[in-house]
Structure 1
Amino acid sequence: MKALDGDATIRKKITGKATVIFLSVMIVLTFFSKTINNFTLPKVTYETPANGALIKEATGTGKVQAKTIHDLYVRTSMKVTGLMVEVGDSVTQGQPLLTLNTADVENQLKDEQDKYAQKKLHLEKLIEASSPDNLLTLDKAVQTAQQNVEKAQRHYDSSKSLYEVGAISANDFADAKPNLDNAKMDYEIAKNNKDKIINDYRKDIESTKLEIDMIERKIAELTKEMNMSTVTAPCDGIVTELYYSEGMTATASQPVYKIADTKGGFQFVATVNISAAEYLGSGDTAEISINSLNNRSIQGKVNQIKDNQQQIGVKKDVVIDIPSEGVIGGEIGTAAIKKNIGSYNVLVSNSAVGQDNDGHFVYVLKEREGPLGNEFYVQKVSISIGDSDNIKTAVLSGITAMDKVVSNSDKPLSDDSPVMLAN
């Protein structure tokens, strides 16, 4: 009997230990199961919608330009014999910039002056030849031919009358008509010859006058270039380009210099995406960072928005008026133009907004009781949106400022997906 009681006691102890071990294992497995499950869940961050303003920002690179640029082209190739300035120098109006050898221009000028004298003599001869006195021979030829027509007409009329009364034969009358026709033809020839000669003289005179005008313009240009032996600054400004050095030959293919007119002011021309330019307008404030000035910031105002000629339909050029201090033109930089496009009650990060075939949506973070305790999950909510800027999107309906909106997730989400919060 005592042996049976001992066996029962032993069994009870074994059962108790097994129960404890089983419960311990279940607790451990439950803990690790929950931990492992958490590792597989999407990690999300959330935000609470807030009210505020949307700020559209357009950025683009570009460079500083003078509003007025002066340059000089030569029509005749000339050698640069001296250079008195360098790129970046400030100059005053009338200050010598460089010297040119004008010997070839002088020779061309003499040739053109000789051509001018020849054409003037030719014109005088044409005018004299076309004078009424010198055309008398033509007039007399026309008058004689007209008299012959009148005489042949009288003979024809007389012969016809005689033939009709039988005074002359048909053969005698037949000669009268060809004689009249020949006289009329001679008259037309004499008249046309006179008209042609007069018209030819008129055309020659007009053509010669045009040639003289062209030579006069060429003489004026060459005379101007003769005075370019010393080239001077056309205005107060800064030398931005010198295309030739001493000893080189200046040609008509490119200017001798470019000078930025400092009195005319400066502007920064930035190239931006056409979608960003839609929000911009004249008077908007721009902040420009200039690379060569240690990224110095310059404030400016948008003056004009125009097509970028290299990328029409894709890019726009934003012309920004800037102060003249410290710039000479040609400096490279970046412009940032911010524009308030409206205030809204509900704003969320752009990353929070998704879109599918049904429209726009966000995921809202929710909490519920699960088999392993409270858990987080997301609920897909359809929304309608308004404008957006580089950071935020305005939500017009679908959520409130009390909702916790998922802004980022390390894995794709779906409606009712369990999630965990990222640390």
Structure 2
Amino acid sequence: MNALEENEKTGRRRLMGKATVIFLAVILLLTFFSNSINSFTLPKVTYETAASGALIKEVSGTGKVEAKSFHDLYVKSSMKVTEITVKVGDTVKQGQKLLTLDTSELENQIKDEQDKFAQLELSLEKLLDTGEKLKEAGSPQSLLNLDKAVELARQSVEKAGRNYEDSKSLYEMGAAAANELADAKTACENANTEFEIAKNNREKALSDNKRDIENNKRDIETTRLNISIAQRKIDELRKQAGMSTVSAPCDGIITELYYSEGMTANSSQPLYKIADAKGGFQFTAAVDISAAEYIEPGDEAELTISSGNRTIKGVVSQLKDNQQQMGVKKNVLIDISAEDLMGGESGTANIKKGMGSYRTLVSNSAVGQDNDGNFVYVLKERKGTLGNEFYVEKVIVNIGDSDNVKTAVLSGVTSADKIVSDSDKPLSDGSRVRIAE
């Protein structure tokens, strides 16, 4: 009986031992799977180590090819386009016929202006003749009668004065009556009045003559000016009438024709626009104003022209404000030299600019920014329940320049640090992570 009980106890102990082992195994297995499942939910990161190197800023912008120099021609009078011998895109030589204009209306205008010109010349001739007569009227010979009248009036004053003095003496002696003295006095006053009138007539004649001469001179100058204006108008009309055949002013490419045959050309827009082939071409690219800070005249550029997928070398000539996007974009003007350009071709400009060498460079994606400043996440390793595990540590860094790929780190990390460059989930200081395969 004792042996039987002992066997039962031994069996129970063995059973409990096995159960304990199984329980512990299950716990371990569940813990393993739990950690494994949890690890799959951790952010997956890639990392890099900082390296030395050079930063190369690459600036790009889209734009169009433009001729540096254009020629166009406006007509001052309306004229009908009777023939066009070229089309947009044609290459032309200096002196080549482009189009013809109907100048018959101008010929009629020239005749009308010539008639007006002849009338003005007749008016000038009459004014010159009048001027000569006015000069004669103001000559000493012409004033002789007026001078005689003044002299006679003066003599009359003297005679009347003597008669008055004689009458006064006789009256005082009682040899003349009072009425005789009064008559003598009246005669004296009348003589003085006539003398003043004679002098005034002479002065007025001189003043009127002087005024008429001045007016005549002004009329002559005005008429001569009008004749000069009329002559210039005739010359201009003749010049326009000579435009019946319009020729190319230079070697170049027709970029615009503003009229078609049968239309009436006027001064509101030119007849044509020609890109001067000898003047060269330039590419105007719009770039972000922040990127434009790295560009300066003399920098080399590579242009990719959309049509034909051509690549052309160029040199930056100047930077200008972009009038459509002030404060946002800058226009970069790039001188180019290439054949078969006509202007208007669109494309992209790429400018690479060396920014110096640095000891510590990291990917731009590795650098973040918050209220504390710029930072990176450094990958760390520690012992965990089932072995080593990885986590990240947030490190504040001082950064310098950056290009399109790399950023220079001036302090905060070393070349031995493993710096997180990418993560499939947001990170924070101390976050556990797993490393991407």
Match of 2:307 in 1: 292
Q: Cα offset for 1:300?
A: 0.9
Q: Answer with 208-217 or 311-320: which moved more.
A: 208-217
Amino acid aligned to 1:54: L
Q: Distance in 1 between matches of 2:255 and 2:436?
A: 56
Q: Distance in 1 between matches of 2:29 and 2:96?
A: 93
Amino acid aligned to 1:296: R
Matches within 5 A, 1:110-149: 110-126=111-127, 129=130, 133-134=134-135, 136=137
Q: Distance in 2 between matches of 1:15 and 1:190?
A: 157
Contact 1:91 1:233 in 2 (8 A): yes
- Taking a change above 3 Å as real, the CA distance of residues 127 and 313 of structure 1, as seen in their structure-2 partners, is farther
Contact 2:382 2:389 in 1 (8 A): yes
Q: Answer with 191-200 or 125-134: which moved more.
A: 191-200
Q: Distance in 1 between matches of 2:201 and 2:427?
A: 106
- Determine if the alignment matches structure 1 residue 248 to structure 2 residue 248: no
Instruction: Map Cα deviations across residues 279-315 of structure 1 (whole Å, 9 max, x no partner).
Output: 111111111111112x111111111212223233322
Match of 2:164 in 1: none
Match of 1:268 in 2: 283
Matches within 5 A, 1:7-406: 7-126=8-127, 129=130, 133-134=134-135, 136=137, 204=219, 207-293=222-308, 295-406=309-420
Q: Answer with 187-196 or 121-130: which moved more.
A: 187-196
Amino acid aligned to 1:255: P
* 3-state SS of 1:320 partner: strand
Q: Distance in 1 between matches of 2:240 and 2:21?
A: 112
Q: Distance in 2 between matches of 1:368 and 1:206?
A: 107
Contact 1:262 1:324 in 2 (8 A): no
Q: Cα offset for 1:330?
A: 1.4
* 3-state SS of 1:369 partner: strand
- Taking a change above 3 Å as real, the CA distance of residues 301 and 3 of structure 1, as seen in their structure-2 partners, is same
Amino acid aligned to 2:86: V
Q: Distance in 2 between matches of 1:60 and 1:363?
A: 33
Amino acid aligned to 1:14: L
Q: Distance in 1 between matches of 2:350 and 2:79?
A: 45
Instruction: Map Cα deviations across residues 241-300 of structure 1 (whole Å, 9 max, x no partner).
Output: 11222222222221111111112222111122222111111111111111112x111111
Q: Distance in 2 between matches of 1:279 and 1:259?
A: 35
Amino acid aligned to 1:265: G
Contact 2:314 2:336 in 1 (8 A): yes
Amino acid aligned to 2:419: V
Q: Distance in 2 between matches of 1:120 and 1:312?
A: 59
Contact 2:321 2:329 in 1 (8 A): yes
Amino acid aligned to 2:425: K
Match of 1:162 in 2: none
* 3-state SS of 1:324 partner: coil
- Taking a change above 3 Å as real, the CA distance of residues 370 and 241 of structure 1, as seen in their structure-2 partners, is same
Query: Which protein has the larger Cα radius of gyration, Structure 1 or Structure 2?
Result: 2
Q: Distance in 2 between matches of 1:330 and 1:129?
A: 66
Amino acid aligned to 2:34: S
Amino acid aligned to 1:317: N
Q: Cα offset for 1:324?
A: 2.8
Q: Answer with 206-215 or 256-265: which moved more.
A: 206-215
- Taking a change above 3 Å as real, the CA distance of residues 211 and 398 of structure 1, as seen in their structure-2 partners, is farther
Instruction: Map Cα deviations across residues 184-206 of structure 1 (whole Å, 9 max, x no partner).
Output: x9999999977876665565555
Amino acid aligned to 2:370: D
Q: Answer with 408-417 or 201-210: which moved more.
A: 201-210
Q: Distance in 2 between matches of 1:188 and 1:273?
A: 83
Q: Distance in 2 between matches of 1:381 and 1:349?
A: 15
* 3-state SS of 2:428 partner: coil
Instruction: Map Cα deviations across residues 389-419 of structure 1 (whole Å, 9 max, x no partner).
Output: 2222111111122211111222222222211
Amino acid aligned to 1:387: D
Amino acid aligned to 2:111: K
Q: Distance in 2 between matches of 1:188 and 1:344?
A: 101
- Taking a change above 3 Å as real, the CA distance of residues 116 and 419 of structure 1, as seen in their structure-2 partners, is farther
Q: Distance in 1 between matches of 2:216 and 2:34?
A: 113
Q: Cα offset for 1:40?
A: 2.9
Q: Cα offset for 1:387?
A: 1.2
* 3-state SS of 1:309 partner: coil
Which structure 1 residue ranges, 5 or more long, are not aligned? 152-171
- Taking a change above 3 Å as real, the CA distance of residues 225 and 37 of structure 1, as seen in their structure-2 partners, is same
Q: Cα offset for 1:233?
A: 0.9
Match of 1:160 in 2: none
- Taking a change above 3 Å as real, the CA distance of residues 402 and 246 of structure 1, as seen in their structure-2 partners, is same
Q: Percent identity?
A: 61
Amino acid aligned to 1:99: T
TM-score calculated relative to the size of structure 2: 0.79
Contact 1:138 1:190 in 2 (8 A): no
Which structure 2 residue ranges, 5 or more long, are not aligned? 155-185
* 3-state SS of 1:70 partner: strand
Match of 1:157 in 2: none
